[in-house]
Structure 1
Amino acid sequence: MTPQDMEARIVRYGELQPCKTAFIDAHTPGSDQKENFTIIGGGVSESADQHVHITEPHGFNIGAAGQPPNCRNSLHNHRTAEVFFVLKGRWRFFWGRWGDAGEVVLEEGDIINIPTNLFRGFENIGTDYGMIMAVLGGDDAGGGVLWAPQVIEDAKAHGLVLGDNGKLYDSKKGQTLPEGVKPMPLLTDAELAEIPEPSAKEVVGGYVRRYWDLVSIAGKKPAKVIGENGVIRDKPGFEIDFITRASASEEKHSHDKPSVLMPVKGHWRIDWDGGHAILAPGDTMSVPENLAHSAVPSMSGEASMYHVVATGDPAGATWKG
């Protein structure tokens, strides 16, 4: 595969195209400055303005959220896996019907595998613009997002209405629901009662791993972060490994499904038969199935990356509580 072919499979951090109207809370004060990025796959954006960088199905979606300080993503629910790692900044993740069942603060490199069927939100509590990278289960990412009722009501008060077709309509732009399309119904009290609210101890203990803990266990081989035999034991439809300078190898390997490389720290040289490329933190590289490749740091200093590959497992519920 030529370098030109592979460059088309690399989304550089500096070339990411944001969407500021991706979700229903795009006009809601406190959430109206967030940027959504869809890197691989269609994601769960509700806006026709969302740019998709790589459309090829991988068995999962890769996205990102960029937010200035004190900006938050409102409470929502997914039926498939949602994994985040912090690329830049300091972030507070919270969950529950009203966002008060539990919370955890994550630093750069930390990762959280948020259990499905929970209302969750997140907020940049750092001092600068922050970025979190996301992996969503399945090629269709579950077909959308379920919003907490108060989020839908707040959005309507600021001009945005979500149709039952999963599309947003902005009354500030003169848009109205098309004929035959009704507003997205609010979840009933009975439906809300079926959504669990685990404690911080339950979520943090089972679904959060700290960057420096992963560095310590990624000795001579990569650490299995999420997988049937991972430090987070789960089968969300993909596996995630953590690679450091100490665990990187120049020996080429391949996978029978497309895989994705996402540097966290340092610069990485990716070699394959036919060429090589250099990745920096925030870059995302899709490696074709059955292509032999290797990844090693290209400069001295701290170096780490996350590696994602589909497993074919159903991207079903992860919460066992």
Structure 2
Amino acid sequence: MTAPQIVRYGELIPCRTAFIDAHTPGSDQKENFTIIGGGVSESPDQHVHIKETPGFNIGAAGQPPKCRNSLHSHRTAEVFYVLKGRWRFFWGRWGTAGEVVLQEGDIFNIPTGIFRGFENIGDDYGMIMAILGGEDAGGGVIWAPQVIEDAREHGLVLGENGVLYDTKKGEALPDGVGPMPLLTDRELATYPEPRSDEVVSKYIARYWDMMALADGKPCKVIGADGLIKDRPGFEVDLLRRGSIAETPYTTDRHEVLMVMRGHWIVRWGKEAVVLAPGDTCAVPPGLEHSLAPSMSGEASLYRVMNTDDPAGPTWTR
């Protein structure tokens, strides 16, 4: 019998040089975390807690107030939920096409193929948890041209091989490796600029709405029949106290449990473990286990499971 793998919130190892904007003022205090899978980090310094990918990647971003993540795009799904704080998400070529503010527990399935960024607009250190589609998270990050240019001015150069080089440390592009080319005007014209109402109505679910719908059964959040109707290679449910029976069950899918509120106890065989907010638990296929809150009070978690759907683009104009 294979046991679940657990990554504790308090044991997460941050990387402060994960992406090209690591030296850019306003973005230079970010901390990135790779929990499951290789993620999309451009730095060899990024620590990976669980290397085996269940068909998707799990990561997180921690930022102090007023710190922002620069405009970028992905070819596959990028789903965030707010664990701590208050966050503003914005999108478009210059970040001005639309925006939305998310509170703790809210979830956002950001449409593929648009430039997006986000910033902590709360008063304390904030944390957002991320689910990235695909085994290799879609082949990396596509940066808006101005992000690459700003980074170069502050000593970071992204090679066409997807690796960062820090000129402040005396690093240079290796022989035969050129800088990452900027997107052309023709290529940039293919990136959609959806309005706020187009995105908010289809790609966002609010925490307290989901909690109400999870009374007596899991709330299907992302999936063919979810609140957010998408099939990005995984599905997401929100569970609260009483959403599922406390009897053992099995599934032939990878199951990743990400605790939002309260404490949850996972039992398998003669073993048991208690999960706290921010903890991530990867349950392997075929393992009989049970899941229940361990104390009274508010309790919720996101459950992510792989599907047979391809991890491809989701946005349509």
TM-score by length of 1: 0.97
Counterpart check, 1:265 vs 2:274: no
Q: Aligned with 2:146: secondary structure?
A: helix
Residues 162-173 of structure 1 mapped to structure 2, 5 A cutoff: 162-173=158-169
Residues 152-301 of structure 1 mapped to structure 2, 5 A cutoff: 152-301=148-297
- What is aligned with 2:70? 74
Q: Aligned with 1:250: secondary structure?
A: coil
- Between the aligned partners of 2:160 and 2:251, the Cα distance in structure 1 is 39
Aligned residue type for 1:238: F
Deviation per CA, 1:194-215: give whole Å up to 9, x if none: 0001000010000001000001
Counterpart check, 1:14 vs 2:10: yes
Instruction: Give 1:294 shift.
Output: 1.6
- Between the aligned partners of 1:312 and 1:59, the Cα distance in structure 2 is 9
Aligned residue type for 1:93: F
Residues 7-46 of structure 1 mapped to structure 2, 5 A cutoff: 9-46=5-42
Aligned residue type for 1:126: G
Aligned residue type for 2:244: A
Range moving further from structure 2, 289-298 or 205-214: 289-298
- Between the aligned partners of 1:99 and 1:248, the Cα distance in structure 2 is 40
Moved over 6 A (4+): none
- What is aligned with 2:131? 135
Instruction: Give 1:236 shift.
Output: 0.3
- Between the aligned partners of 2:247 and 2:225, the Cα distance in structure 1 is 23
Counterpart check, 1:147 vs 2:143: yes
- What is aligned with 2:102? 106
Instruction: Give 1:57 shift.
Output: 1.9
Aligned residue type for 1:185: P
Aligned residue type for 2:297: G
How many correspondences in the alignment? 317
- Between the aligned partners of 1:83 and 1:294, the Cα distance in structure 2 is 26
Q: 8 Å contact 1:59–1:312 — kept in the other structure?
A: no
Instruction: Give 1:132 shift.
Output: 0.2
- What is aligned with 2:307? 311
- What is aligned with 2:86? 90
- What is aligned with 2:58? 62
- Between the aligned partners of 1:167 and 1:125, the Cα distance in structure 2 is 30
Instruction: Give 1:320 shift.
Output: 1.6
Q: 8 Å contact 1:64–1:132 — kept in the other structure?
A: yes
TM-score by length of 2: 0.99
Range moving further from structure 2, 242-251 or 177-186: 242-251
Instruction: Give 1:255 shift.
Output: 1.9
- Between the aligned partners of 1:251 and 1:84, the Cα distance in structure 2 is 30
- Please list every run of 5 or more consecutive structure 1 residues that lacks an aligned counterpart in the other structure: none
- Between the aligned partners of 1:117 and 1:41, the Cα distance in structure 2 is 22
Please report the RMSD computed on the Cα atoms of aligned residues, expressed in angstroms: 0.8
Q: Aligned with 1:261: secondary structure?
A: strand
- Between the aligned partners of 1:201 and 1:252, the Cα distance in structure 2 is 42
Q: Aligned with 2:247: secondary structure?
A: strand
Aligned residue type for 1:43: G
Q: Aligned with 2:28: secondary structure?
A: coil
Instruction: Give 1:165 shift.
Output: 0.1
Q: Aligned with 1:213: secondary structure?
A: helix
Instruction: Give 1:129 shift.
Output: 0.2
- Between the aligned partners of 1:75 and 1:306, the Cα distance in structure 2 is 26
Q: Aligned with 1:236: secondary structure?
A: coil
- Between the aligned partners of 2:147 and 2:296, the Cα distance in structure 1 is 46
Identity level (%): 70
- Between the aligned partners of 1:249 and 1:67, the Cα distance in structure 2 is 37
Instruction: Give 1:314 shift.
Output: 0.6
Instruction: Give 1:141 shift.
Output: 0.2
